[in-house]
Structure 1
């Protein structure tokens, strides 16, 4: 079983949208997927009640719940942790149990600035274990100055960005239901699998 966590304490960075779409893509390939909702607002849990996802959803109310994930969800192929919209001890726990950390960032200085706190947690825990980490650019609009600035800012860190970004599309708000969005998520999921498997 492999664990991936989407972490950025900035709300609106695209964590839950990316979690839903990547998890759905993995499930459509026949994988058994568990998603752990760590956000006190329980956005993903509430979404699941309305939509009935192709994956199982669990909630984690404390860091203890997150530390138990590897043991409690051992029967799954992949576990995806949807990080909270704030920096907390749950963020540290998610870093400790994960095989891959994905930091979603929109082309916004606030998103990238907030991502710095996740990097600080990663650096603080580096003496215990090194965990693969990637930036994921979300809500991308081509040819914008802010996108260029974001890519330059990422290049100044030691963390790579995925080659595939999530483009700003209305279909992501609802679900992946147009061909371009589906293709984008499929390519991104392949990139994730290349790291995990």
Structure 2
């Protein structure tokens, strides 16, 4: 995997390569983490996601023994704003020293509609709020990489 990604960056001229992997596939997740410069951990505001992300965070900490420059941050996704659950999950992450994005991706019908049509929210009418959330996330990621 490392050789393929190195070739893609050097020969094909890619600045960024996104690996979307399931955190539960331990061997694959470890391999993806160790070759990554940045690990974005999407997480819903739920106890289940908090536990699953905690396991992924442990894998990242192990990888940092060999590659300490790995940057990792939690991205809250599908958040219903102004709910106690979202506030509680955010408070728990802060108490436990997690790094997280300022950007929060809301629970918006536009995301589901776009995916159902095989589109992005940038191709769906009346989805400015969803588009803005994605653009804010991209800006934050680019700032982390500077």
TM-score by length of 2: 0.84
> 2:111 corresponds to which residue?
172
Larger Rg: 2
Structure 2 residue aligned with 1:104, among 37, 42, 55? 42
> 1:79 corresponds to which residue?
17
> 1:149 corresponds to which residue?
88
Q: Is the 8 A contact 1:100 1:133 kept in 2?
A: yes
Q: Is the 8 A contact 1:87 1:117 kept in 2?
A: no
Instruction: Report which of the two has the higher share of helix.
Output: 2
Q: Is the 8 A contact 2:73 2:101 kept in 1?
A: yes
RMSD in angstroms over aligned alpha carbons? Answer: 1.4
> 1:189 corresponds to which residue?
138
Q: Is the 8 A contact 1:140 1:165 kept in 2?
A: yes
Q: 1:145-184 CA distances to partner (integer Å, 9 max, x unpaired)?
A: 1101110111123321100110001111223131111111
Q: Is the 8 A contact 1:138 1:165 kept in 2?
A: yes
Q: Secondary structure at the match of 2:82?
A: coil
- Is there any run of 5+ residues in structure 2 with no aligned partner, and where? 115-119
> 1:138 corresponds to which residue?
77
Q: Secondary structure at the match of 1:191?
A: helix
Runs of 4+ displaced beyond 6 Å: none
- Is there any run of 5+ residues in structure 1 with no aligned partner, and where? 1-64
